């Protein structure tokens, strides 16, 4: 489990603002699930989804997501991971390959979310991308209530990764504006997943 608790350049949970928020969100909680729910709901509801709000900034590091209060789904998963790891709760990264027709017709891209390890339930996937019409992600273990269910030509990547995928980090670091991102979403070759 230690790989799912480590601090990295991107999951920079020793940042003072992240530490303070992590303590605030865990105050009074009796179980890891209560703390995880508070962290999830904070990121889901208090951090803008950059695409929904058309914020013209691309964040990547957890501390920047908190500082600018915005992030694409991937970046929001980085902040959620930092808050959970700061509370000594193991958390990983999961991805779905989904249609991105909301932004551009005929393209597919990765969607980022998390899996948290809860003592009572084991690994449990959560999606803090932010709710809106047609999207209602919730924290209700053991039942998963994710933002999206894969449809035709869409799928879940099967692994729980201890760190964000390199293609995601590279994309978030390279493309800085809303317009740049919607033309360059990270994707994953299907054959790599199925091999």
Domain extents for the chain? 2-194
Q: Which CATH class is domain 2-194?
A: alpha beta
| 49-80 confidence digits (pLDDT tens) | 999 999 999 999 999 999 999 999 999 999 99
Residues in the chain: 195
Distance, CA of 89 to CA of 116 (rounded, Å) = 7
| 103-157 confidence digits (pLDDT tens) | 888 889 999 999 999 999 999 999 999 999 999 999 999 999 999 999 988 999 9
Output the pLDDT for position 104.
Answer: 80
pLDDT, average across residues 19-44 = 98
Which regions of 48-163 does DSSP assign to beta strands (E)? 48-49, 70-71, 91-99, 108-118, 122-126, 138-140, 143-145, 155-156
Output the pLDDT for position 189.
Answer: 59
Taking 70 as the threshold, does the pLDDT of residue 190 lie above it? no
pLDDT, average across residues 184-190 = 80
Alpha-carbon Rg for the chain in angstroms: 16
Q: Share the mean pLDDT of the chain.
A: 95
Q: List the Cα angle 77/79/80 in 5-degree steps.
A: 65
* Nearest residue to 163 via CA among 55, 67, 78: 78
């Amino acid at each position: 489990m230690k790989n799912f608790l480590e601090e990295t350049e991107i999951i920079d949970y020793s940042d003072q603002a992240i530490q303070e928020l992590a303590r605030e969100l865990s105050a009074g909680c009796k179980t890891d699930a209560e703390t995880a729910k508070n962290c999830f709901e904070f990121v889901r509801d208090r951090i803008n989804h950059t695409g929904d709000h058309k914020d013209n900034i691309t964040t990547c590091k957890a501390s920047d997501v908190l500082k600018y209060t915005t992030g694409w789904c991937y970046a929001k998963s980085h902040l959620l991971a930092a808050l959970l790891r700061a509370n000594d709760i193991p958390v990983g990264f999961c991805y779905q390959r989904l249609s991105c027709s909301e932004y551009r017709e005929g393209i597919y891209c990765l969607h980022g979310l998390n899996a948290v390890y809860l003592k009572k339930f084991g690994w449990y996937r959560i999606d803090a991308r932010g709710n809106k019409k047609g999207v209602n992600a919730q924290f209700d273990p053991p039942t998963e209530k994710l933002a999206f269910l894969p449809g035709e030509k869409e799928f879940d990547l099967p692994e729980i990764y201890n760190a964000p995928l390199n293609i995601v980090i590279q994309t978030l670091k390279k493309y800085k504006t809303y317009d740049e991102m919607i033309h360059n979403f990270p994707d994953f070759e299907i054959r790599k997943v199925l091999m």
